[in-house]
């Protein structure tokens, strides 16, 4: 018998025994090592995604771990292999899939939301979702591959190029990862973040961070010689963040929408018209994004250890969700699925 963290109702999680199922054809049983708690998990915790999540539901999708058993017909994997999971299962037949956009399949099963996730001691997934990890990559750091893949996809969707000026509105984990990935392709980056703690971390990572209480559009005008930013990423999820991301853009600038906005927002369409701006959405990732993310975490371009605020044991996961609601003084909390008795601060 193993343990799993389950969402049961709004603002209620528990840890309960779970009976592992043997992997079927094409499936692999994993022993998750570390599972990150992300913004989507908090949306689930708040009850905002009850239309998709069937309680009681095991959640979590930012993970690293090892193969335990392989099912019939699975080749190329064996017990002990270090892996992460690209948690997407698509149907392959819908118009989006037929057009080559399987990652946004119109009937997508996002594993960890629409089906059982990684926050458990044993987890069975399709072998097709596995992504191999380098032998020397620590598994706690590897748990940040999935959110890094999000950032890689976002930077790709925004078509960020060497020498461009980019503004990231929202300096939480994904915002910082976007800034680091954008910097890795040669962009000059500024991060706009309310939390002094997160601004300090951004500065320690070599990024320039601004307080949104300041006149950010004026700062951008000075920084860019009146031209405005080439690209902005809206990662805050707030109405004010949308305004800032639009206001900082120069002529033919690109706005990449990353955050999940729970309600419609007003947008200054006159500015879109006047400056011929472009809005692009960025959701999830594909396998190439994941493989690039593995490289960035492994080679230290993404200093994953600096983004991990703490690690808690499986049985303390419910309390960790409550800690994350405070936001500003915490970046990434990992759940250690290998030990249900002790946690380790990082």
Annotated catalytic residues are 40, 43
Query: What three-state secondary structure class fits 77?
Result: coil
3-state helix, strand, coil in the chain (%, to 5): 30, 30, 40
Tokens read off for 171:
């300096």
Strand 57-58 versus strand 2-9 pairing type: antiparallel
Question: What interhelical angle do 145-157 and 173-184 show, nearest 10?
Answer: 60
Q: Measure the CA–CA gap between 214 and 237, rounded to whole angstroms.
A: 19
In contact, 253 and 230? CB cutoff 8 Å? yes
Could you write out the DSSP letters of every residue in 13-43?
Answer: EEEEEE------TTEEEEEEEEEE--HHHHH
The beta strand positions in the chain, using DSSP E, are 2-9, 12-18, 27-36, 57-58, 62-70, 82-85, 88-89, 109-110, 123-126, 130-132, 165-169, 188-192, 208-210, 229-234, 249-257, 278-281, 308-313, 332-336, 344-345
Give the max Cα distance, the chain.
63
Nearest residue to 337 (alpha-carbon basis) of 318, 311, 319: 311
Q: Measure the CA–CA gap between 287 and 74, rounded to whole angstroms.
A: 19
Please classify residue 226 by burial: count the beta carbons closer than 10 Å to its beta carbon, then call 0-12 exposed, 13-18 middle and 19+ buried.
exposed
Strand 249-257 versus strand 278-281 pairing type: parallel
């Amino acid at each position: 018998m193993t343990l799993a963290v389950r969402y049961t109702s709004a603002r209620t999680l528990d840890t309960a025994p779970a009976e592992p199922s043997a992997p079927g054809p094409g499936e692999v049983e994993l022993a998750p090592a570390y599972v990150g708690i992300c913004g989507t998990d908090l949306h689930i915790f708040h009850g905002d995604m009850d239309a998709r999540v069937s309680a009681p539901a095991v959640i979590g999708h930012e993970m690293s771990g090892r193969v335990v058993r392989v099912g019939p017909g699975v080749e190329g994997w064996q017990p002990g292999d270090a892996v992460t999971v690209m948690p997407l299962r698509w149907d392959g037949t819908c118009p989006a899939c037929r057009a080559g956009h399987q990652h946004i399949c119109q009937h997508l099963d996002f594993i960890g939301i629409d089906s059982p996730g990684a926050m458990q001691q044993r987890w069975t997934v399709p072998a097709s979702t596995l992504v191999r990890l380098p032998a020397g990559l620590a598994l706690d750091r590897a748990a940040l591959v999935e959110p890094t893949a999000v950032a890689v996809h976002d930077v790709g969707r925004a078509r960020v190029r060497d020498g461009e000026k980019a503004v990231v509105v929202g300096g939480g984990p994904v915002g910082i990862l976007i800034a680091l990935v954008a910097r890795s392709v040669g962009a000059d980056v500024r991060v706009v973040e309310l939390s002094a703690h997160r601004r300090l971390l951004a500065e320690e990572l070599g990024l320039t961070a601004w307080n949104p209480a300041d006149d950010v559009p004026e700062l951008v005008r000075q920084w860019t010689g009146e031209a405005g930013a080439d690209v902005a990423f809206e990662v805050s999820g707030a109405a004010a963040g949308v305004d800032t991301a639009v206001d900082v853009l120069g002529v033919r600038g690109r706005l990449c929408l990353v955050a999940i906005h729970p309600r419609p927002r007003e947008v200054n369409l006159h500015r879109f018209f006047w400056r011929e701006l472009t809005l692009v959405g960025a959701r999830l990732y594909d396998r190439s994004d994941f493989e690039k993310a593995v490289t960035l975490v492994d080679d230290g371009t993404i200093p994953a250890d600096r983004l991990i605020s703490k690690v808690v044991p499986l049985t303390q996961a419910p309390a960790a969700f409550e800690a994350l609601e405070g936001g500003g003084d915490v970046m990434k909390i990992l759940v250690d699925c290998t030990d249900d008795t002790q946690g380790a601060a990082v």
